[in-house]
A and B are shown apart, each in its own frame.
Chain A
Amino acid sequence: MLQFLLSGIAIGSIYGLIGMALAISFYVTRIINFAQGQLMMVTVMITAELVSSGYPVWLAAAAGLVSSCIIGILSYLIAVRPILLSNRFSFGWLVSTLGFAVIVENAAAYIWSPTSQAFPPILNNISVPIGSAVLTGQQLLAIVTAAILAAGFEIVRRYTLFGKLGMATAADPEMASAIGANTTVVAIIAFAVSAAFAGIAGLLIGPTTFANPYLGDTFGTYGFIAMMIGGGTERPIAAMFGGLVLGICAEGANGLINSQASDWFPFIVLVVILIVSPKGLFSASNPLFRPRRPAAASR
Chain B
Amino acid sequence: MNEQSSPVLEISSLSAGYGRFDVVRDIGLSVGKGEAVALLGPNGAGKTTVLRAIMGLVKQRRGLIRIGSTDVSDLPTHRIARGLAAIAPEGRRLFFDQSVEDNLLLGALHLRHDRPRAERLLSSVYDLFPVLRNYRHRLSSFLSGGEQQMVAIGRMLMSDPQIMLLDEPSVALSPVAVDIVVKAMLELRKRGASLLLVEQRIDVATRVCDRLYVMAHGEIVEEMTPETVRSGGMSILSKYLG
Q: Which residue of A is nearest B155, CB measured?
A: A179
Given A164-B102, A178-B89, A179-B109, check contact A171 B77 (CB 8 Å).
no
Q: Which residues of B contact A179 (CB under 8 A)?
A: 81, 86, 106-107, 109, 155, 159
Contact check, B57 vs A178: say whether CB atoms are below 8 A apart: yes
Given A164-B102, A299-B134, check contact A178 B81 (CB 8 Å).
yes
Contact check, B110 vs A180: say whether CB atoms are below 8 A apart: yes
Which of the residues B78, B107, B142 comes within 8 Å of A294, measured between beta carbons? B142
Number of interface residues of B (CB under 8 A): 29
Which of the residues B77, B102, B112 comes within 8 Å of A178, measured between beta carbons? B77
Q: Which residues of B contact A182 (CB under 8 A)?
A: 76, 78
Q: Which residues of A contact B110 (CB under 8 A)?
A: 180
Q: Mark B82-117, 1 if CB is under 8 A from A, else 0.
A: 100011010001011110001001110110100000
Q: Which residue of A is nearest B92, CB measured?
A: A175
Interface: B139 (CB within 8 A)? yes
Interface residues of A (CB under 8 A from B): 161, 164-165, 167-168, 171-172, 174-175, 177-183, 284, 291, 293-294, 298-299
Q: How far is the CB of A295 from chain B (nearest CB, A)?
A: 11
Which of the residues A171, A175, A183 comes within 8 Å of B97, measured between beta carbons? A171
Which of the residues B78, B98, B134 comes within 8 Å of A164, measured between beta carbons? B98
Which of the residues A165, A174, A183 comes within 8 Å of B106, measured between beta carbons? A165
Contact check, B89 vs A298: say whether CB atoms are below 8 A apart: no
Q: Which residues of B contact A291 (CB under 8 A)?
A: 139
A-B contact pairs, 22 of them (CB 8 A): A164-B106, A167-B95, A167-B98, A168-B95, A171-B97, A174-B77, A175-B89, A175-B95, A177-B76, A177-B77, A177-B78, A178-B55, A178-B57, A178-B89, A179-B106, A180-B81, A182-B76, A182-B78, A284-B97, A291-B139, A293-B142, A298-B134
Q: Which residues of A contact B131 (CB under 8 A)?
A: 299
Interface residues of B (CB under 8 A from A): 55, 57, 76-78, 81-82, 86-87, 89, 93, 95-98, 102, 105-107, 109-110, 112, 131, 134, 138-139, 142, 155, 159
Given A179-B155, A180-B110, A291-B139, check contact A172 B95 (CB 8 Å).
yes
Q: Which residues of B contact A294 (CB under 8 A)?
A: 138, 142
Which of the residues B76, B87, B93, B109 comes within 8 Å of A165, measured between beta carbons? B109
Task: Find the residue from B77, B102, B112, B131 having the highest chain A CB count within 10 A.
Answer: B77
User: What's the Cα separation between A164 and B96 when bound, in Å?
Assistant: 12
Q: Which residues of A contact B95 (CB under 8 A)?
A: 164, 167-168, 171-172, 175
Q: Which residue of B is nearest A292, CB measured?
A: B142
Given A167-B97, A172-B93, check contact A161 B112 (CB 8 Å).
yes
Q: Which residues of B contact A298 (CB under 8 A)?
A: 134
Contact check, A168 vs B81: say whether CB atoms are below 8 A apart: no
Q: Which residues of B contact A284 (CB under 8 A)?
A: 97
Contact check, A168 vs B142: say whether CB atoms are below 8 A apart: no
Q: Which residues of B contact A171 (CB under 8 A)?
A: 95-97
Q: Which residue of B is nearest A234, CB measured?
A: B97
Q: Which residues of A contact B106 (CB under 8 A)?
A: 164-165, 168, 179
User: What's the Cα separation between A181 and B80 when bound, in Å?
Assistant: 11
Contact check, A180 vs B89: say whether CB atoms are below 8 A apart: no
Q: Which residue of B is nearest A183, CB measured?
A: B78
Q: Which residues of B contact A161 (CB under 8 A)?
A: 105, 109, 112
User: What's the Cα separation between A167 and B139 when bound, in Å?
Assistant: 13
Contact check, B78 vs A181: say whether CB atoms are below 8 A apart: yes
User: What's the Cα separation between A148 and B134 when bound, in Å?
Assistant: 35
User: What's the Cα separation between A49 and B95 when bound, in Å?
Assistant: 45
Q: Which residues of A contact B138 (CB under 8 A)?
A: 294
User: What's the Cα separation between A180 and B134 when bound, in Å?
Assistant: 27
Q: Which residues of A contact B89 (CB under 8 A)?
A: 175, 178
Q: Which residue of B is nearest A293, CB measured?
A: B142
Known: A178-B86, A180-B78. 9 other contacts (CB 8 A): A164-B106, A171-B96, A171-B97, A172-B93, A175-B95, A180-B109, A181-B78, A182-B78, A294-B138
Q: Which residue of A is nearest B96, CB measured?
A: A171
Which of the residues A164, A174, A180 comes within 8 Å of B82, measured between beta carbons? A180
